[in-house]
Amino acid sequence: MKICLAQLNYTIGDFEQNTLKISDAIQEAKKSGADLVLFSELAVCGYMPDDLLDYDWFVEKCESSLEAVAQSCQGIAAVVGGVMRNPGKGRSLQNVACFMQNGKISHVICKTLLPTYDIFNEARYFEPADHTEIIEYKNVKLGIAICEDFWDIYNDFEYKESPVQRLKNAGAELILHPSASPFHLGKAAVRDQVFAGNISRFSLPVCYVNQVGVHTDLIFDGDSQALNAAGDTIAELPYFQEKMVYVEYADGDLKGNKIEPFFPEYISTLHDAIVFGIREYFSKMGFKTAILGSSGGIDSAVVQALATEALGAENVFPVLMPSEFSSEGSITDAELLSGNLGNKTNIISIADTYHSLVQSLSESFQDKPFDVTEENLQARIRGILLMALSNKFGHILLNTSNKSEMAVGYSTLYGDMCGGLSPLGDVYKMKVYALANYINRNGEIIPQQIIDKAPSAELRPGQKDSDSLPEYSLLDEILNLFIEERRGRDEIKSLGYEPAVVDRVIQLVNRNEYKRYQSPPILRVSGKAFGSGRRIPLVAKYG
């Protein structure tokens, strides 16, 4: 039996294009002699539709799209993910993989394990499967395990049942594993552990198909694979690309030469993921051009370089907005960067606007001395100017804050927190430097002086970030322990960190939750990003 692994890029709710793409892939696979095509989880509607599933019309289109795809399955079979109404008790919908042949849906396999952690909330919508079913096709007994059904013991907890064990007990000879598995750094190693562990447990070959694309903050990297019963990888599809690959099942196993699984370099993968994320977000939202504030600092420089690679130099518009506190070097560095990238630069001084506002507020300020209020006023002026240009020309504002700043609130609401997308909001400061060096791997694009200079918001004379925060190398370590590893303050202190610094950092993280609640969508590249995957009450007493 010749099997096609179809790694495709879907758009949530675009039933017409998703259906066309799936049907075209089936026809292409048929011409190539395939007997079966495997697509990813929720292929016809995209993963994850969230509360669009509350609308009857959405569910009806999903079901009709599955029926339409099935008509393409003449002389070939396919496994296509989607949503169907639940005919029994419980939640009204089910997450399904439809087995299609002879122009119709012959089997409907429902997902058993519904994840409700991090970014997942499937139990809000779906009823789990209540039985196990084996599909016999071409004299092969197929077991279908939808995404989480293959991950029963590979979380922070163990599910009470193992769907794959049930499939094995029912006589499955080959596991088909449609999935929607979001990317984060280190995910390749996690998948390798899951595949190796399950093949060791069950001695069954596996065909795994993941989607590619970006759905709001989630990046899907693909990395679909086929593994034989010995655990050897015999096929692996590329990251961040649509691709169709064929494998052969015969004599009880998948056939093919062993290949080494691809474990991508950390920083290159981070770079590629963010570029892909920006490009996909703009494409699926129908956006063409981007604008950003270019300060001559490391964060805006990296965002500008990544956006230029994603969208093209002619579609990225940096705006320099110097004040009386801006250094001459910052202006010239920002201009040099734009020259290197080929971006058209706009310079708007905020000095007059700032002084006019300070004068207007002078009586209301009651002669109180200069403080963070005036600093934030500058940031908000810049936000107003950027949003005005965004409105006038239709550019989408890219936020340039990094994860370190967002974590501790070192940012200004309605100022530098403005934006339609945050490319670096899940990237700690030290990784931003690593990205800058990677961008310069073949020659200087980001001027070295931008990388070398001490970080500063330049909102008061002689200001440096280190005046208000621990050094970023230390800050990032503590933030990672607290946010990604979810360690408590006492545990972090026990690792040798200075107690007063730990207390201060955690206090800053906790009291600035309300700011992050209002941040733009953040491209998720870690295992615990701000946004839908980290839900902390705003009104609470803790930490």
The phi, psi pair for 63, rounded to 5°, reads -65, -40
* Domain locations along the chain: 2-264, 268-467
Of 30, 111, 168, 187, which residue is the catalytic one? 111
The pLDDT of residue 326 is 77
Does the annotation mark 133 as catalytic? no
Query: In the prediction, which pLDDT does 457 show?
Result: 64
pLDDT tens digits, one per residue of 301-357:
999 999 999 999 999 999 999 988 877 778 999 999 999 999 999 999 999 999 999
Q: Does domain 268-467 have CATH number 3.30.70.2740?
A: no
Contact 10, 213 (CB under 8 A): yes
Tokens for 330?
A: 């910052």
Q: CA 309, CA 447: separation in Å to the nearest integer?
A: 17
Instruction: Convert 433-444 to b/e letters by CB count within 10 Å (16 or more is b).
Output: bbbbebbbeeee
Whether 137 contacts 77, CB under 8 Å: yes
The reported pLDDT for the residue numbered 432 is 97
Catalytic residue list contains 60 = no
224 touches 237 (CB < 8 A): yes
- The reply to whether 288 belongs to the active site is no
- ∠ CA 388-390-391, nearest 5°, is 65
Query: Largest alpha-carbon pair distance within the chain?
Result: 86
Residue 223's nearest CA partner among 166, 193, 264, 259 is 264
Predicted confidence at residue 543, as pLDDT, reads 61
CATH number of this structure's domain 2-264:
3.60.110.10
Cβ proximity of 180 and 47 under 8 Å: yes
Q: How far is CA 39 from CA 96, 121, 208, 447, in A?
A: 12, 22, 9, 44
What is the number of alpha carbons within 13 Å of residue 458 lying toward its C-beta?
Answer: 21
Contact 526, 269 (CB under 8 A): no
pLDDT in tens, 452-465: 988 776 666 766 76
Active-site entry in 45, 73, 110, 147: 147
In three state form, how does the secondary structure of 429-457 look?
HHHHHHHHHHHCCCCCCCCHHHHHCCCCC
- Contacts of residue 524, defined as CB under 8 A and 6 or more positions apart, other chains included, come to 119, 182, 183, 184, 217, 218, 219, 426, 531, 533
Q: Counting beta carbons within 10 angstroms of the beta carbon of residue 362, is it exposed (0 to 12), middle (13 to 18) or buried (19 or more)?
A: exposed
pLDDT at 463: 67
Distances (CA, A) of 125 to 145, 419, 446: 19, 31, 46
Task: Fill in the amino acid letter for 168.
Answer: K
Residue type, 105: I
| Residue type, position 329, single letter | G
pLDDT of residue 261: 82
114 backbone dihedrals φ, ψ, rounded to 5°: -110, 105
Single out the residue of 66, 101, 105 nearest to residue 83, CA to CA: 66
Instruction: Check residue 459 and give its pLDDT.
Output: 66
311 CA to centre of own chain: 18
- Distance, in Å, from the CA atom of 154 to the CA atom of 412, rounded to the nearest integer, reads 39
Structure tokens at 35: 């007997």
Catalytic hit among 4, 30, 41, 458:
41
Residues in the chain predicted with pLDDT less than 70, given as ranges, are: 457-460, 462-463, 465, 543
Check if the beta carbon of residue 401 is closer than 8 Å to that of residue 428.
no
